[in-house]
Amino acid sequence: MTLSIRPMQTADLPAVGGLFDQYRQFYEHAPDLPLAQRFMAERFERGESVVLVAQASGGELVGFCQMYPSFCSVEAAPIYTLYDLFVSPPAREGGAGRQLLLAAGARAATDGMVRMDLTTARTNVKAQSLYASLGWVRDDVFLAYHRRVGAPSAPG
């Protein structure tokens, strides 16, 4: 499959919203296309993230990655958190994920970032293999935690 990787444009928002909805479903969230499209449109309109898309030779968008700018306090430098990476199931195994990750790294370097971070599900072994093949290093030192806010927390 011939692909081109490029920054998302306004005209891509409906297709990227659809891919983002599929991404959320992959992580066991209920389908909600209006929510997905609104979320991606807000990030784009506010300039809060960098989104790269994988476009097939026929014009169809088959994948995307989304990076959020942040900082590493220890390195005292800017980084990107690559939060979302998704390739539609029919386009998997065609190199889109690899090309998106390579383009994301190039973009991070161009934007002056010193590092990129990402997390993935422990069960997402295929993605882990891809990351390792591109030189990403798994963190075996630090544990990741999260806590919901605005909702009651469980005791404990």
pTM for the complete prediction?
0.91
pLDDT tens for the 156 residues of the chain, in order: 689 999 999 999 999 999 999 999 999 999 999 999 999 999 999 999 999 999 999 999 999 999 999 999 999 999 999 999 999 999 998 899 999 999 999 999 999 999 999 999 899 999 999 999 999 999 999 888 989 898 655 555
What's domain 3-133's architecture? Answer: 3-Layer(aba) Sandwich (3.40)
What is the model's pLDDT at position 93?
Answer: 87
Q: What is the 3-state secondary structure (H, E, C) of 34-86?
A: HHHHHHHHHHHHHCCCEEEEEEECCCCEEEEEEEEEEEECCCCEEEEEEEEEE
Residue owning tokens 């998106």? 100
User: 117-133: per-residue pLDDT in tens?
Assistant: 999 989 999 999 999 99
What is the model's pLDDT at position 153?
Answer: 57
Show me where the domains of the chain are located: 3-133
Picking from 149, 124, 139, 135, the residue whose alpha carbon sits closest to that of residue 72 is 139
